[in-house]
Structure 1
Amino acid sequence: MAIRKFGTVVAMLACAAPAFAEAAPKEKEVWITIGTDALEPARASFQQKGLALPAPALEKGGVAVLRVRESQLETLAAAMHDKLNRCAGFIAHDTEQQALAAVEGSTAPQSLASLVSYNINNGPSVNAMLSGVQELNIRNTINSLSTNWTTRRYNVQSGADAATWLKSQWTTIAGSRTDISVAFFAHSWLQQSVIATITGTTHPNEVVVIGGHLDSINQSGSTAAAPGADDDASGVASVTEAFRVAVANGYKPARTVKFMAYAGEEVGLYGSNAIATSFKNAGTNVVGVLQLDMTNYKGSSYDFGMVQDNTNASLNSFTTSLISTYQPGLTWTNITCGYGCSDHASWNSAGYPATMPFEATMSTDNPQIHTAGDTLTYTGGTAANSVKFAKLAVSFMGEVAKGATTGNTPPPVDSGTPGGTINTATFDATLKAPRCTASGAGCDSGTLLNGRGGLGPEVNRPNTIGGTCVDGTSGTYHSDESNDRLKVATNDGTNLAAGKQVTVTATVWAYSSTADTLDLYYAANASSPVWTLIGSYKPAGSGARTITATYTLPAGATQAIRANFRYNGTAGSCTTGGYDDHDDLIFSVQ
């Protein structure tokens, strides 16, 4: 094959402060991380305003580090919204060290959470809370937040007053419960983040986070009206209603649940980044984060847009299972929103599993956000669309934190009923591929598949049944294509069984988001496989990526899935390209 690619060159520029005029008053400067795809649009927007965007101090893995004046953050936020339809689109850091650390971990943040089996087995308690969700309560919260103050900007007194009001509201909801606390998370700017905590009964050191951002912004100027009814009073109102129905139903979670209203999201995820970083530094075990940013505008035919970038694939799959289970008939589609587009990115960057269901696709979202027109009136004077997000927050809380409402029995925390165990595969010398022989809720290849055809640490290559489908040997480990991990698991946490819907999670190293394709197959009989295509999928970008797909298990005691990761070409269970990788995973089915 002819040479088709060249090594990636990472440009690293000297970390120097941007040159400002000597006459300018001294002003606080901050370090930001931003997607490299946003640099040119942002630079053009700055030039239109007579400003210069500093050169990056570092670019790596599609993320750049810049040093900017704090006063320029709103200009940058406006550019992200105008040019790329992102909100905010970057992450602000107090120090260069923090920014550089964020970039170093940006391609594949390591999860700090202990392994958790996400499963659905808490129906009685979840349904008890779902029945109490009320549109009027959500509407009233949106109305109060969007009309009581002209703006909820992070660095003005009205933004601080909005946080004080919300803290009072949440304190009232908590009532006399001694296991609930409501407090500010202190920041150096005026507006504080608000956190309500329900301490877990049996696993208090495992934490579930449900949040939205409290601040608002008008991109036309710092003094302009910014009601922010949809962005993001609607998300905070949805979180508030989930908190309210939990308390109203006497819900006592097994794991600790923290409801959060973040300050300063619009200027670089200020509040959530500070909180997530503090949790990381403290070694806090956050097992799942749900972000609700804009919930009350239905711009798409789909009910939910599931953000795929800077989120956790397993948690995304679990969240869509919650939709199917507790709100059947509602629809969802996968979307991407770019680097730092909302607070979930702060948690993901810190190494925690996060998910973000959105109200629309990025091209069909609310056109009034960041303007004086983002009012409750614009969404019809109702919070009807936010109801489904509040219900999703309730089901997420009940099924990740477990525990029970008054009169119900709490389910097992660490496993489904029955099953719940995700087994780790070992190499089967007869079938010549990774295999899980024990029954369980899933099977994970672990590190057995990492690499391709002698490139990288992959042992027992090619790791295909019978060794009959060999890998391509062109290229370089983790510069060119490889399939590094496969996992199959039931969506409801019970044991793998015929008729069960399962999710396949593939971890790949991608060279190109356009030229690379992952073909996923299944076979009902691993001993004599006949491969059936599940689907063909494009990675969201280069580098380490996770791709998920679902299918229904057929009958058969020993089944298999195959990942065929190819450079160009057409779908096949065993393609022959020099950069193609093929791996199988064998597992037991009841």
Structure 2
Amino acid sequence: MAIKKFGPVVALLACAAPTFAEAASQEKQVWITIGTDALEPARASFKEKGLALPAPALEKGGVAVLRVPQSQLEKLSEAMHDKLNRCAGFIAHDTEEQALAAVEGSTAPQSLASLVSYNINNGPSVNAMLGGVQELNIRNTINSLSTNWTTRRYNVQSGADAANWLKTQWTTIAGSRTDVSVALFTHTWTQPSVIATITGTTHPNEVVVIGGHLDSINGSSSTGAAPGADDDASGVASLTEAFRVAIANGYKPARTVKFMAYAGEEVGLYGSNAIATSFKNAGTNVVGVLQLDMTNYKGSSYDFGMVTDNTNASLNSFTTSLISTYQPGLTWTNITCGYGCSDHASWNSAGYPATMPFEATMTTDNPQIHTSGDTLTYMGGTAANSVKFAKLAVSFLGEVAKGATTGNTPPPVDSGGGGGTIPTATFDATLKAPKCATAGAGCDSGTLLNGRGGLGPEVNKPNTINATCVDGASGTYHSDESNDRLKVATLDGTTMAAGKQVQVTATVWAYSSTADTLDLYRAPNASSPVWTLIGSYKPSGSGVQTITATYTLPTGTTQAIRANFRYNGTASSCSTGAYDDHDDLIFTVQ
């Protein structure tokens, strides 16, 4: 007998005290989303200052929604930094609707349905750019941003002046290239964000984002000096150098690349949230986001701290592969930094795959950030530590956006995977599952699997070979578990053949990162399948998630993979849980 699970608990709490509301009503109010684990530490910090943090209007899934006066965003940012070592640690929204959408895990379904299969095959172009990265250029940018203005706060003129200066720098780098543009993204506050765009040659509608935040803050004083050399002039300088070497080497990406310097990160990821939301609303297909926030202070024995929460597990794995491939000998470790700790969280909240390599662990980061002491001098007067982040940005650029530098041949690229042509499956009425009848570089289920059984738009359910494995019928669409898409593609972009390494990319809707598990299986003969377990994998969070695995194709002309997505239970090719979903993908092998 199946025991029904309960959905996330929603707690509607009381409004703020009348005296607070009366005072707050006289100024602009802002809705924020914040991790529930941060509420009590932030509340304690506010109390120490004689302030009161309002009670949440909503709590769900570890995230709370609050309405606060805009003037208190900086105080909240200070509290998050002092108590939890987060920066900013929350996401600010202009409307209640936007805040509620964020806490509900609202996504950008079309872009999520088009995630690429990340692979490394663009060595000549990446290495050409890597050789041009120079510490002096990064150092000069850090020095200019941290000394030309007393502060780069989001709501003062000097913050806007810094943005205009950076726009001029990037415009100079772009030179006369007609496929490159630099523009300001204006907001409702003083400081704009800055975006440089290199339009893709063959896949211009697929977008790669490399970003860092431009603003700075002094946590103790709104009028105090905030040089922000590490936080985050260093990240902006690192991505600026990546942009420079790309242009200097004549790099023309296959996918469109956007370099972004965000305004207002320190007061709730304001700028990146506005941009990511606008991209989501426009249906822009962002296939990968790299966030560089603090790159020049080496506080840990590890070279990179890979943030695992509010990021994409597949893109994180790919990013560490880039480190191993292009900067062998450098080390990394996994870290968590909490809800809304930097701009990657804005993209993740909008449903886009993001990754964030950090300069240290959360307990060994730069102790001078958010103070007047965050200077280049404190970091030894050099940008040596940022060089490896600029190089990582270059390798991310070359291997996610593909394309080529002058004199090199661009590798094949396809929206569905690592190269070549990847057919989209059609329903096979005989085998009763999606099938790619011709051999290609892979096979993609497209939208055929989206949903589970009678829940959602899934057609031809249950989409398992000979309809032998029936889906669980409990729950609701995109609140509970479902397989939404399956792809298999060769790692080298060539036609699938026995002995080739392939990557399986499964897009699922997860209810829980702890209770849910995806079992991936393979069968060499789809007409008479004998299932062999590839592996069992946990989603990194709830909502839409992408999980990848690799294996070697066996002998067989018509093969299959199966995704068995289960709530609790043990590994099985056909589990029987009431929330379990099972889907097959059949494909042709040379």
CA distance in 2: counterparts of 1:449 and 1:413, whole angstroms: 24
- Displacement of 1:246 in angstroms is 1.8
CA contact (8 A) 2:471 2:582 kept: yes
Partner of 2:391: 391
Matched residue SS, 1:405 = coil
The equivalent of 2:90 in structure 1 is 90
Question: Measured at CA, do residues 176 and 473 of structure 1 come closer, stay the same or move farther in structure 2, by a change above 3 Å?
Answer: closer
Q: Deviations over 1:279-328 (max 9, x none)?
A: 45566555543322222345566554444554456655654554454445
Q: Secondary structure at the match of 2:394?
A: helix
> How far, CA to CA, are the matches of 1:137 and 1:57 in structure 2?
47
Query: Measured at CA, do residues 91 and 125 of structure 1 come closer, stay the same or move farther in structure 2, by a change above 3 Å?
Result: same
**Distance (whole Å) between structure 1 residues aligned to residue 196 and residue 155 of structure 2:** 22
What is the aligned partner in structure 1 of residue 109 from structure 2? 110
Equivalent residue number for residue 435 of structure 1: 435
SS in 2 for 1:128: helix
1:358: which partner in 2? 358
Q: 1:466 to 1:416 in 2, by over 3 A?
A: closer
The code of the aligned residue for 2:68 comes to: V
- Could you tell me whether the CA contact under 8 Å between 2:313 and 2:540 is conserved in 1? no
> SS at 1:486's partner residue?
strand
1:249-281 superposed Cα distances (whole Å, 9 cap, x missing partner): 233445543322111111111222333344455
Amino acid in structure 2 at the alignment position of 1:257: V
- Whole-Å separation in 1 of the counterparts to 2:358 and 2:550: 21
Range moving further from structure 2, 240-249 or 300-309: 300-309
Q: Which range moved further: 128-137 or 556-565? A: 556-565
Go from structure 1 to structure 2 and tell me whether the alpha carbon gap of 1:444 and 1:257 turns closer, same or farther (over 3 Å shift): closer
1:245 counterpart residue number? 245
> Are 1:114 and 1:285, in contact at CA under 8 Å, matched by a contact in 2?
no
Preserved CA contact (<8 Å) 1:518 1:563: yes
| Deviations 1:534-564 (CA, angstroms, capped at 9, x unpaired) | 4333333444433333444445444333333
CA gap of 1:401–1:61, structure 2 versus 1, over 3 A, is same
Moved more, 406-415 or 336-345: 406-415
- Return closer, same or farther for 1:458/1:249 CA change in 2, 3 Å cut-off: closer
Asked if the contact 1:119–1:416 (Cα under 8 Å) also holds between the matched residues in 2, the reply is no
Change (3 A) 1:476 1:156: closer
Structure 1 residues 574, 278: CA separation in 2 closer, same or farther (over 3 Å shift)? Answer: closer
Q: How many residues align?
A: 589
In the TM superposition, what whole-angstrom CA distance separates every residue of 1:482-527 from its partner, at most 9, and x where no partner exists?
A: 4443333334444434454443333334343333333333344445
Q: Is the 8 A contact 1:416 1:493 kept in 2?
A: no
CA contact (8 A) 1:415 1:421 kept: no
Q: 1:583 Cα deviation (Å)?
A: 3.4
Q: Distance in 2 between matches of 1:437 and 1:331?
A: 43
Whether the 8 Å contact between 1:205 and 1:256 is mirrored in structure 2 is yes
5+ residue gaps, structure 1, are none
* Segment of structure 1 superposing worse, 86-95 or 20-29: 20-29
* CA 1:47–1:131: 2 relative to 1, 3 Å: same
* Offset from partner CA, 1:57-92 (integer Å, 9 cap, x none): 445565443221112111222333344443222222
Say whether the 8 Å CA contact 2:312–2:545 is kept in structure 1: no
- CA distance in structure 2 between the aligned counterparts of 1:181 and 1:418, rounded to whole angstroms: 28
Give TM-score scaled by structure 1 length.
Answer: 0.84
CA RMSD in angstroms, aligned pairs only: 3.9
Residues 119 and 415 of structure 1 are in contact (CA less than 8 Å); yes or no, is this contact kept in structure 2?
A: no
Partner SS, residue 159 of structure 2? helix
For residue 198 of structure 1, report the CA deviation from its aligned partner. Answer: 3.6
Q: Helix, strand or coil: the match of 2:423?
A: strand
For 2:109, give the aligned amino acid. Q
Partner-residue secondary structure (3-state), 1:166: helix
Q: State how 1:183-202 maps to structure 2 within 5 Å.
A: 183-200=183-200
Q: Which residue of 2 aligns with 1:49?
A: 49
Which amino acid is 1:54 matched to?
Answer: P
Percent identity among equivalent residues?
88
| Contact persistence 1:8–1:479 (CA under 8 A) | no
| 1:222-371 equivalences in 2 (<5 Å) | 222-280=222-280, 286-298=286-298, 303-311=303-311, 315-316=315-316, 319-320=319-320, 322-328=322-328, 330=330, 336-362=336-362, 365-371=365-371
Aligned counterpart, 1:540: 540
| 8 Å CA contact 2:416, 2:444 repeated in 1 | no
5+ long unaligned stretches in structure 2: none
